[in-house]
Amino acid sequence: MRFHWSLSQVGDPFRRAAATRDMSGRIDLQCKIDFCQRAEQCGIDSVLMAIGFTRPDPMLLSVALGKETNTLKFMVACRAGLLSPTMFVQQINTVSSLLNGRVHINMVCGHTPGELRYYGDFLDHDARYERTDEFLTVCRSFWADAGDVDFDGTYYQIKGGRLHTRFSPDPARGPEVYVGGNSGPAAALAAKHAHCWWRLAEPPVRVAASVGVVLDSGCEVGLLVSLIARPTHEEARRAASALIGKFGDDAREVHRRFARGSDSVGFVSTYEAATADQEWLTPYLWTGAVPFLGAPAIALVGSNEEIAQALLDYNRIGVTQFLFTGWPDLDEMTSFSRHVLPRVRELEGRDGDEH
Amino acid sequence: MGTNTSVVDSKLRFHWRLPEAGETDGAVVTRDRDARDRGRPDLQAQASFCVRAESAGIDSVLVNLQFSVPDPMTLSLALATRTERMRFMVAVRPGLMSPTLLVQQVNTFAVLTGGRICLNMVAGHSPDEMRYYGDSQPHDQRYERMEEFLTVCRAFWQSQEPVDFKGRHYVIEQGRLNTRFVSDRETQPEIYLGGASAGAQEVAARHATVWMRFPDRPGTLRQDIQPVLSRGAAVGLRMSIICRPSRDEALEVIRTLMSSPQIEAKRRSEASFVKKSDSQSVRSVFEMAQDEWLTPSLWSGGAGVLGAPSIALVGSPDEVVAGILEFKEAGISHFIFSGWPKVDEMVRFGESVLPLVRRLEAASAARPTATPGGRKVVYRLD
């Protein structure tokens, strides 16, 4: 299994409790550098560099952080509506050259039509997936590094396309492509183009029901989930209660409004489950923070041993990658690498022996 | 853009074009579509160039954008982390990304570097190449789109309020960005806009800090740039410099350059580039290159082979400085230079040309009435 961590709230663990317009777009660079350097020591594969109007640009921030790290990869988020696929490939290839290949891409289709319009993008949910399909088709043609790129689609028309800056270090192998989203179109898009499909955590039975077509295509499945792992189950539960004890009606109202404005299937269904008093979806999968911090706050809560077992349960139904957040991220990640990860590797070895 | 004004005794500003990978040794690189070496960032050589340019007193380095080179925004940021004061003039074409995303990238760059970014807006000059990017706008609409693009960008930089814009090429609704532009000198990046057509001039007059163009004889230039100057934009020249201890040595450089083995291939590729280009400035300079010399120190004989930016001030330091100041008299306030060899020419400029320019500028500032008949040129400071 591979583990990634989101850089989204590093240095500002409760940013999602605030209204988006109040979220800081400033960069606490030193804090992010410290986190990335620690992530390298913790066995984290990559950090997610999210995209959105509340944040600095992920491509440029990755270049700045890449200079301060040696092995960590940067999973740069991209939305098709923002730039020409050729330009995107040129930027990613340049970054790959600057960072010696330490870049993945995380293709997302957007979650809030209102925000997409800030960027001049007015497409509806399903059309965005169609466009992203075309976008990735063009990008992957460039990354195949097999001559001029021609593409005649509804959203993009590329003629004789070529770029002299190729992906580094191996031009014949582009970046690993991650596609995010819980909806049917997202799964189909991932199956067609991605190395790994990101979806929000759900109970293992629900996840198992959705992954077949994706796994059959050879694409991996990864889960977005937060972590609250402590030495004992009771301590983890107490940490979870303490977390939501910090928030009041303001944070709740922020996410009520967000859910109304969102057309993301995963975000909205997770939010609805959380607000329908389904606080524990399984003994470890907890939605209690979602009404205050949003859908990505769905969390695995339990003892280090329980969390390791829970990750293995997901692994048995085909989940091979995880993207975590924590409160605060630095402490949770450090604790994960010391107390959960070694146990996961041990259990993985045992699972491997059985097969 | 506000129109703070000042007379021409302000100091000239000098920028230099960043050499591409494989160019640093001064070799003549063709536009050959298979010249793939140019695509690979050469961080070590390019960073070394920037460090030397910084100590030479160069204001910013121009980092080009086209299919055959790395992305200028990310490359510039990597170079900026290795310098302290140098600014990066990042080339931008409106057809390639949402203006909102461009502003987000620029603002992020500014936050990470203390505002060391300015923009070189270009409309694109080769329809074939633009289609590599999925961009098929005809020439006249490219400037209409540029106008809309810059209107949106400047609204983000100038207003704290959400941005609304409804145009033919962009529609932005309630646009916000939480990462703001940061600099201790200005509230938005300087915009250098290139292009000779009427459309380009109009957009430059409305939105640019500096209108960039190719050189001409100073007398002709003085008249041509008047409309843009009078509307508050500064004017800059994209050109080259060939400075040696003596004029004879400088002329020898031209002879060597024009007799290099690659020059025939370069001549062919340039002719085909110009034929396919729909850029008015590229074509008119190519025609101007029928004259070998525009003035005794202004060489245009290479333009047909090496491209329009190769029109060069040629001579000893004194002669080159005189040429620069003659342009200043005509109303020019910025230069983006390149030279051969790429690094040495820039270092020589910093050592033997720039100090002399500054000395003469200081002397003329101390004698404000010393140039009877010299016309007062107005340009923008912000």
Cα-based torsion angle of the residue sequence B282, B287, B292, B295 in order, rounded to the nearest 10 degrees? -80
Using DSSP, state whether B186 is helix, strand or coil.
Answer: coil
Percent of chain A exceeding pLDDT 70 equals 99
Report CB contact under 8 Å: A121, B98.
yes
Q: Among the CATH numbers 3.40.720.10, 1.10.30.50, 3.90.1150.10, 3.20.20.30, which is that of B13-367?
A: 3.20.20.30
Mean pLDDT of chain B: 87
Pick among B18, B93, B107, B108 to test the A interface (most A CBs inside 10 A):
B108
pLDDT in tens, A291-341: 999 999 999 999 999 999 999 999 999 999 999 999 999 999 999 999 999
The pLDDT value recorded for residue B163 is 97
Of B285 and A199, the structure prediction assigns the larger pLDDT to: A199
Mean pLDDT of chain A: 93
Residue B99 touches partner A, C-beta closer than 8 Å: yes
The arithmetic mean of pLDDT across residues B73-86, rounded, is 96
The arithmetic mean of pLDDT across residues B16-38, rounded, is 65
The pLDDT value recorded for residue B370 is 39
Residue at token pair 């789109």: B145
Judge whether residue B208 has pLDDT over 50: yes
Kind of pairing between the strands at B191-194 and B210-213? parallel
pLDDT in tens, A204-218: 999 999 999 999 999
Pick among A97, A102, A167, A168 to test the B interface (most B CBs inside 10 A):
A97
Which residue(s) pair with A197 in the sheet?
A179, A221
Residue B369 touches partner A, C-beta closer than 8 Å: no
The pLDDT value recorded for residue A12 is 83
> Do the Cβ atoms of B116 and B82 come closer than 8 Å?
no
Which residue(s) pair with B166 in the sheet?
B171
Report CB contact under 8 Å: B134, A23.
no
Element (DSSP H or E) covering residue B62: strand B60-63
> Do the Cβ atoms of A95 and A165 come closer than 8 Å?
no
Q: Which residues of A touch B176 (CB under 8 A)?
A: 21, 53, 118
User: Please, which residues 162-191 of chain B have a Cβ atom closer than 8 Å to chain A?
Assistant: 162-163, 170-180
pLDDT in tens, A247-293: 888 888 888 888 888 888 888 888 888 888 789 999 999 999 999 99
CATH number at residue A191: 3.20.20.30
Number of domain units in chain A: 1
| Residue B322, number of CB atoms within 10 A of its CB | 16
CA B93/CA B73 separation, integer angstroms: 12
The pLDDT value recorded for residue B377 is 40
The pLDDT value recorded for residue B373 is 39
- Measured CA angle at A58 (ends A56, A63), to 5 deg: 110
- As given in the structure block, the two tokens for residue B297 are 């120190």
Nearest-neighbour CA in chain B from A218: distance (Å): 30
Q: Which residues of A touch B115 (CB under 8 A)?
A: none
- Nearest Cα to A47, choosing from A24, A73, A29, A27? A73
The pLDDT value recorded for residue A73 is 98
| Domain assignment of residue A189, given as a range | 2-354
Kind of pairing between the strands at B13-17 and B117-121? unpaired
pTM, entire model: 0.93
CA B269/CA B293 separation, integer angstroms: 23
Q: Which letter does DSSP use for residue B19 in this model?
A: P
The pLDDT value recorded for residue B376 is 43
pLDDT in tens, A222-249: 999 999 999 999 999 999 999 998 888 8
Pick among B31, B101, B170 to test the A interface (most A CBs inside 10 A):
B101
Q: Which residues of B touch A60 (CB under 8 A)?
A: 73-74, 77, 105, 108-109, 112
Residue at token pair 């600099």: B183
- Nearest Cα to B63, choosing from B93, B101, B90, B86? B90
Q: Which residues of A touch B124 (CB under 8 A)?
A: none
Half-sphere exposure of B336 (CA within 13 A, CB side): 29
ipTM for the complex? 0.95
Which residue(s) pair with A178 in the sheet?
A106, A196
The arithmetic mean of pLDDT across residues A72-93, rounded, is 97
Judge whether residue A3 has pLDDT over 70: yes
The arithmetic mean of pLDDT across residues B368-380, rounded, is 40
Residue B4 CA, distance from chain mean position: 22
Q: Which residues of A touch B172 (CB under 8 A)?
A: 117-120
* C-alpha distance from residue B111 to each of A68, A240, B114 (Å): 17, 35, 6
The pLDDT value recorded for residue A354 is 64
The pLDDT value recorded for residue B277 is 76
- Nearest Cα to B278, choosing from B195, B201, B363? B195
The arithmetic mean of pLDDT across residues B203-223, rounded, is 96
| Residue B144, number of CB atoms within 10 A of its CB | 18
Judge whether residue B26 has pLDDT over 60: no
| Type of residue at A279 | E
| Type of residue at B205 | A
Residue A141 CA, distance from chain mean position: 24
> Do the Cβ atoms of B156 and B163 come closer than 8 Å?
yes
Residue of A nearest to B174 (CA): A118
Q: Which letter does DSSP use for residue B315 in this model?
A: E
Kind of pairing between the strands at A220-230 and A196-200? parallel
SS (H, E, C) chain A: CEEEEECCCCCCCCHHHCCHHHCCCCCCHHHHHHHHHHHHHCCCCEEEECCCCCCCCHHHHHHHHHCCCCCCEEEEEEEHHHECHHHHHHHHHHHHHHCCCCEEEEEECCCCHHHHHHCCCCCCHHHHHHHHHHHHHHHHHHHHCCCCEEEECCCCEEEEECCCCCCCCCCCCCCCEEEECCCHHHHHHHHHHCCEEEEECCCHHHHHHHHHHHHHCCCEEEEEEEEEEECCHHHHHHHHHHHHHCCCHHHHHHHHHHHHHCCCHHHHHHHHHHHCCCCECCCCEECCCHHHHCHHHCEEEEEHHHHHHHHHHHHHCCEEEEEEECCCHHHHHHHHHHHHHHHHHHHHHHHHHHC
Torsion sign, CA atoms A85, A87, A88, A92 = positive
Pick among B132, B153, B176 to test the A interface (most A CBs inside 10 A):
B132
Kind of pairing between the strands at A149-152 and A157-161? antiparallel
Longest CA–CA separation in chain A, Å: 62
The pLDDT value recorded for residue B369 is 47
The pLDDT value recorded for residue B120 is 98
The pLDDT value recorded for residue A162 is 95
pLDDT in tens, B87-146: 999 999 999 999 999 999 999 999 999 999 999 999 887 889 999 999 988 877 889 999
